[in-house]
């Protein structure tokens, strides 16, 4: 669906007649070969098998024949994809820099690009483009990292609002070991984030929400993370960050926080693990860490394209699901080279099969099925929110 159609969808009422595919649980796909879906001012009010109730539904909601769209043979309607982890400012770097792993990749390619977003004209151009691109790919909900810059982060929210996407948008926080010209002091980071939350919530648009976004434990000290956790409580806000993506990163986090048991304990100590928190990656988490995340109701965004492109590792989603953790899919642009959640589904399936190969094909390990991956891309991602 193009962004124009998406906007129109929110202003009008209509019915789509044809095949409907959606996911109500992780174990199966629901397929209605012939039915209809009725939408009234942006909300689905009816999903029916067959068309016996079509006319009655039209009368009930005042939908005339011109607003009843019949799909062609082979077409189907499905829920929008949910991208639970994407860095909007990194879009210009898609496909670049995979000669380095995470920490060197950040300093060599990513931070120099993100610095440029102090220029709001540059930011507006890129942000308009990435929101259009993700909508074209079928992503109707996205959790965006912006940059440290307050003004351009608000421009990302404006683009999302104008183009009609549902999104969680985070102004990034970084006050530790920051590159030249791309860092904040603790007080400014806190004050600026609180103002940013107020500005986004002040839009009173249920589709556009702020999300508290400490980059990761190596870029924020404990004092700042505790303050951000307090902001999350005060404003009932979501939280997103990265965890346990790369083994070098895990070692560095343990060195920086020797008083904490592990990476998860760093965020738990800061009060950042809630049932509204989404952690990207989680490739190298221990069993003890999984127990804590499950107990907190914290979700993992699985980003298989990025994990392979940056050689971070194979994230075992089956293990996360068995531990009772909510899982969604993320593109992690530009750690991942694709803006498409359909690509993330394919990569998730391949990663899971590669894990199966590693265990030996005579093992009883069950790789993800396509209907499980479809669930992670839609309802699974929604649960993470
Ligand atoms: Zn990321």
Spatial neighbors of 66 by CB under 8 A, at least 6 apart, are: none
243 Cα–ligand 1 center, Å = 9
pLDDT in the model for residue 322: 97
What domains can be seen in the chain, in order of their start residue? Answer: 3-77 (2.30.40.10), 81-384 (3.20.20.140)
Ligand 1 geometric centre to CA of 179 (Å): 18
Nearest Cα residue to 4 out of 131, 158, 143, 125? 131
Place of tokens 């992503």: 139
> What pLDDT digit, counting tens, does each position of 285-343 carry?
999 999 999 999 999 999 999 999 999 999 999 999 999 999 999 999 999 999 999 99
Torsion 137-142-143-147 (CA) sign: positive
Label residue 381 by pLDDT band (50, 70, 90). low
Coil/strand/helix, residue 126: helix
**pLDDT tens, residue by residue, 46-69:** 999 999 999 999 999 999 999 999
- Could you tell me how many residues make up the chain? 385
Taking a C-beta distance cutoff of 8 angstroms, is the pair 174, 215 a contact? yes
- Residue 73, pLDDT > 60, answer yes
pLDDT at site 361: 87
Q: How far is the centre of ligand 1, averaged over its atoms, from the C-alpha of 307 (Å)?
A: 10
- For residue 12, pLDDT over 60 is answered with yes
ipTM over 0.95? The verdict is yes
To the nearest whole number, what is the mean pLDDT of the chain? 95
pLDDT band at residue 3 using 50, 70 and 90 as cut-offs: very low
What's the CA gap between 350 and 355, in Å, rounded? 9
In the chain, % of residues over pLDDT 90? 92
What is the reported pLDDT for 10? 65
pLDDT at 8 over 80: no
Residue 359 CA to ligand 1 center (angstroms) comes to 28
Q: How far, rounded to the nearest angstrom, does the alpha carbon of residue 120 sit from its chain's CA centroid?
A: 24
Cβ-based neighbour number of residue 366 at 10 Å: 10
Ligand 1 center–CA 272 separation, angstroms: 17
The shares of helix, strand and coil residues in the chain, as percent rounded to the nearest 5, are 45, 20, 30
pLDDT in tens, 184-207: 999 999 999 999 999 999 999 989
Measured in angstroms, how far is the CA atom of residue 149 from the centroid of ligand 1?
A: 17
Condensed to tens digits (0 to 9), the pLDDT of residues 15-45 reads 999 999 999 889 889 999 999 999 998 889 9
Report the C-alpha gap between 309 and 318 in whole angstroms. Answer: 21
DSSP string for 159-170: HHHHHT-EEEEE
Contact 209, 143 (CB under 8 A): no
pLDDT in tens, 234-259: 999 999 999 999 999 999 999 999 99
Q: How far is the CA of 335 from the centre of ligand 1 (A)?
A: 7
Band of residue 4 on the pLDDT scale cut at 50, 70, 90 = very low
Pick from 355, 277, 344, 286: which is nearest to 315 by CA? 355
Cα–ligand 1 centroid distance for 215 (angstroms) = 8
CA of 280 to the centre of ligand 1 (A): 6
């Amino acid at each position: 669906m193009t962004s124009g159609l998406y906007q129109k969808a929110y202003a009008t009422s209509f019915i789509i007649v044809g095949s409907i595919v959606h996911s109500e649980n992780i174990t199966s796909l629901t397929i209605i070969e012939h039915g209809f879906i009725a939408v009234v001012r942006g909300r689905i009010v009816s999903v029916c098998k067959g068309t016996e109730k079509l006319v009655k539904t039209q009368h009930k909601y005042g939908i005339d024949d011109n607003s009843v769209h019949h799909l062609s043979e082979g077409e189907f309607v499905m829920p929008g994809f949910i991208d639970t982890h994407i860095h909007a400012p990194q879009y210009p770097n898609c496909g670049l820099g995979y000669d380095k792993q995470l920490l060197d990749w950040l300093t060599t390619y990513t931070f120099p690009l993100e610095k440029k977003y102090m220029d709001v004209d540059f930011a507006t151009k890129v942000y308009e483009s990435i929101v259009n691109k993700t909508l074209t790919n079928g992503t109707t909900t996205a959790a965006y990292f912006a940059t440290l810059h307050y003004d351009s982060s608000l421009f990302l929210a404006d683009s999302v609002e104008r183009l009609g996407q549902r999104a969680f948008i985070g102004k990034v926080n970084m006050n530790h070991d920051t590159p030249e010209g791309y860092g904040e002091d603790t007080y400014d980071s806190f004050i600026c984030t609180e103002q940013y939350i107020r500005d986004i919530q002040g839009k009173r648009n249920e589709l556009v929400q702020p999300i508290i976004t400490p980059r990761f434990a190596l870029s924020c000290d404990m004092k700042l993370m505790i303050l951000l956790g307090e902001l999350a409580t005060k404003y009932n806000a979501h939280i997103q960050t990265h965890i346990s993506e790369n083994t070098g990163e895990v070692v560095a986090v343990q060195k920086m926080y020797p008083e904490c048991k592990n990476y998860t304990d760093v965020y738990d100590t800061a009060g950042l693990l809630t049932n509204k928190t989404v952690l990207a990656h989680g490739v190298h988490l221990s069993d003890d860490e999984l127990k804590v995340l499950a107990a907190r109701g914290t979700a993992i965004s699985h980003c298989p394209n990025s994990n392979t492109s940056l050689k971070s590792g194979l994230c075992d989603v089956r293990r996360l699901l068995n531990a009772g953790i909510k899982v969604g899919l993320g593109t992690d642009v530009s750690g991942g080279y694709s803006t498409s959640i359909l690509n993330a589904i394919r990569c998730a399936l391949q990663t899971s099969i590669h894990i199966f190969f590693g265990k030996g094909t005579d093992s009883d390990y069950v790789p993800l099925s396509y209907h499980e991956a479809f669930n992670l891309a839609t309802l699974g991602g929604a649960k993470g929110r």
